Each structure stands twice: as C-alpha cells, then as structure tokens.
Amino acid sequence: MSKLDLIKTDYGPCNINCVFCRLHKSPPPSRSSKQEILSQIRACKDAGVEHIRITSGEPTLDPNFLDYIRFAKELKITTVLVETNGIKLAEDEFIEKIAKLGQVTFLINTPSHKKEIYEKITQTPGSFENHKKSLENLAKHNFKFIANIALINLNYKFEDVKGLIEFLKETGLEVNHITLRPLRVNLKGSGEDIYLAEYAALGREIGKIIKYCKNQNILVQGMPAFSIPLCACQGFEKFFAEDPKDKWEQMNQFFFKLNICKKCKIEKYCPGVLKFYNKKFRPTPYTEIPETLKV
Ligand SMILES: C[S@@+](CC[C@H](N)C(=O)[O-])C[C@H]1O[C@@H](n2cnc3c(N)ncnc32)[C@H](O)[C@@H]1O
Ligand code: SF4
C-alpha cells in the first residue's frame, strides 16, 4: 500500500501567527502522548503505508519531534514528509540533528518572498529572517522540499508566486513541486474573510501559475475545489476535479450550488460556492457558466 497517512504531533501554541490559519479558531484537539504517536507510526508501517505526513499546529515544536522522525526512519517508511512553517529549521543544531536521521521531505509554509508581506501574514516581526535562513539550511542539507502556498488576497497573483519561486531557487533550493491552497474561510474555524480573494481573479491567476510551472517542470498540486468552484479555474477544471470528492463532501454544509450549476458539465465534481464567499462578495460574479462547461 502506498498511502500517505497523517500523523498529528502534539498541538501547542505556534511560533508564528498566520492570518489565514484555520487552527487558531478550532477547538484544541485532544493531545496524543508520545507513546500514542509512536504507536500510530508503527500502525502505519504494519498496514503497509509507505508515506507518512507529520503535521500539527507546528510539529517542530513538539519536544518529541526528533524521536518520531527517528522511529519512522528506523521502520524504513519510504517517505517521511513534515508539514511545517520551517522557522525552527533556522537553528543549525536542530536541522543538523534531523539531517543525521536521514532524508526527510519538508512541505514548507512559504506564503511570500517579500519580507513585508511575509511578516504581515505571520504577524510576527523579524520572522522573515528566520524563514530565509531555514530555506538556506534546507538547501545546505539537501533536504527534499515542497513549497506550500496558502493563497490569500495578499499573495495570490501570478507575479507573486513567480517571484516566490525565483526567490526559493536563489536560496539554493531545488523547486520542483508546489502546492496551492486558496484560503478556506469558515470551515471548521478557518481564516478571516478579509483575506479572501475574489474567485474569478483567483481562478485566472491560478491558471497562469499552472502554465508557468508546467514550463518550468514544476509539479503543482492543490485543493481549490475546497474553496473555489471549478468554473473559476477555467482551463484547469479537470485538473482540480481530481481532488478527492469525499473530502469536500464532508463539508457540504458550508457550500451551496447556484441554479446555473445544474447546467454545468462538471457539477458532480465541484463543491459549489462557499456560503461565506457569497455573503462577502454578493452579488456573486457567477451568473454564467463558461461555454466549455455547458451541458
Ligand atoms: C495548519 S498548518 C500546520 C503545519 C504548519 N504549522 C504549517 O504552517 O505548515 C498547514 C498548512 O495549512 C494551510 N492553511 C492553514 N490555514 C488555512 C486556511 N484557512 N486556508 C487554506 N490553507 C490554510 C497553510 O498552507 C499551512 O501551511
Ligand atoms: S505556522 Fe502553521 S500552525 Fe502556525 S499559525 Fe501558521 S499555519 Fe497556523
């Protein structure tokens, strides 16, 4: 089995405070003991899982973080992916300890290459220097790297993401994989609506980003269908229709379908429009279905 299984480490206060963060407003999840997390990793191995993703609030802050990586490596789990803001990786001693344990793939929260925007997003003055150092450290130790970009109205434009990719390359990182995550608002306590980008513009910019990345041999993954309707991703509707449907079906209560959705070819793959979005941008710009999608 080649499944990516999620391991959530201990949940504590974060070392930055992203404006979009959906965790701030969530009820605190129950904490797992070190033994429970090690048992979860063991259970993955026993079930034949080859890829695990370690995440949390901020997993690198868990005092047992290195033990989890060590254990997963001892079990020879093929891919150990850590989803992190990376701030702690700026500490040479810390990243050297990880490097000694073997290859880890880091999915790094990289919202912007501009100090001002980065610190506006993280609401943490001085955090950009740490961020930059952590990227350089990742490059220095040849860790595998994926850029994780939460798209909000401060960083969603093509030029923003292109500039970000160039900046990441300048730090010495090999950039061959990015993930795009448009802001999810009001889903189980998510980010603030003031950071929501308008769907049509967001879809257009995502289209340009995908084209650019294709030319640069950069794999793009994403989950726009969690937050923007597929008709907003014109030209890339099918790409995003690959999102696992069962995931957004659990969130149906937060979405609604417009009357015109009945005439759309990919209606069954699309979650529809976020209720919250409609409230903010009403009247919704979605009054017409693109010709290519008409039934
Ligand atoms: C919740 S954080 C946890 C791991 C780690 N602290 C980090 O920042 O990567 C994981 C990722 O979720 C994404 N995220 C958080 N809140 C979000 C929201 N409201 N909408 C879209 N993506 C969000 C960000 O891309 C973030 O990197
Ligand atoms: S670094 Fe991660 S957990 Fe921390 S505030 Fe940002 S998104 Fe949330």
Boundary-marking domain end, from 223, 251, 285 = 223
Same domain, 14 and 56: yes
Same domain, 208 and 252: no
Q: Could you give the 3-state DSSP secondary structure of residue 206?
A: helix
E runs forming strands in the chain: 4-8, 51-55, 79-84, 105-109, 144-151, 177-182, 219-222, 255-256, 273-274
* Pocket residues: Cβ below 6 A from ligand 1: 20-23, 55, 58, 83-85, 109, 148, 150, 181, 183-184, 190-191
Q: What is the largest CA-CA distance in the chain?
A: 59
pLDDT along the chain (295 residues), means of 10: 74 85 64 90 94 91 94 96 97 98 97 98 96 98 97 96 98 96 69 80 91 95 77 78 67 79 82 78 61 74
The residue segments making up the domain with residue 247 are: 229-295
Same domain, 295 and 191: no
Asked whether 48 and 1 are in contact (CB, 8 A), the reply is yes
Asked whether 224 and 207 are in contact (CB, 8 A), the reply is no
Q: Who's near 74: CB < 8 A, 6+ residues apart?
A: none
Asked whether 230 and 182 are in contact (CB, 8 A), the reply is no
Which tokens sit at 9?
């480490």
255 — phi, psi (to 5°)?
A: -115, 160
Query: pTM, whole model, 2 decimals?
Result: 0.91
pLDDT for residue 23: 72
Q: Could you give the 3-state DSSP secondary structure of residue 262?
A: helix
Report the DSSP beta bridge partners of residue 217: none
> How far away, in angstroms, is 177 Cα from ligand 2 center?
20
CA-CA-CA-CA torsion sign (226, 227, 229, 230): negative
Q: What is the CATH number of the domain that holds 172?
A: 3.20.20.70
> How far away, in angstroms, is 269 Cα from ligand 1 center?
24
Cβ–ligand 2 distance for 19 under 6 Å, the answer no
Same domain, 140 and 271: no
Cβ–ligand 2 distance for 23 under 6 Å, the answer yes
Distance CA(275)–CA(157), nearest Å, equals 24
pLDDT for residue 37: 93
Cβ–ligand 2 distance for 85 under 6 Å, the answer yes
Same domain, 217 and 276: no
Distance CA(123)–CA(117), nearest Å, equals 10
pLDDT for residue 48: 93
Same domain, 144 and 260: no
> How far away, in angstroms, is 270 Cα from ligand 2 center?
27
Cβ–ligand 2 distance for 14 under 6 Å, the answer yes
Same domain, 166 and 31: yes
Q: Which of 227, 233, 238 is nearest to 281 (CA)?
A: 227
The strand pair at 177-182 and 4-8 is best described as unpaired
Same domain, 134 and 256: no
Same domain, 102 and 236: no
Please give the tally of structural domains in the chain. Answer: 2
Boundary-marking domain end, from 207, 223, 239 = 223
Distance CA(6)–CA(179), nearest Å, equals 17
> How crowded is residue 31: how many other Cβ atoms within 10 Å of its Cβ?
12
Q: Which of 238, 154, 220 is nearest to 191 (CA)?
A: 154
Same domain, 155 and 13: yes
Same domain, 122 and 245: no
Asked whether 209 and 161 are in contact (CB, 8 A), the reply is yes
Same domain, 160 and 177: yes
Q: Which amino acid is at 177?
A: H
Q: Who's near 25: CB < 8 A, 6+ residues apart?
A: 189, 190
Boundary-marking domain end, from 169, 194, 223 = 223
Cα end-to-end distance, the chain, whole Å: 38
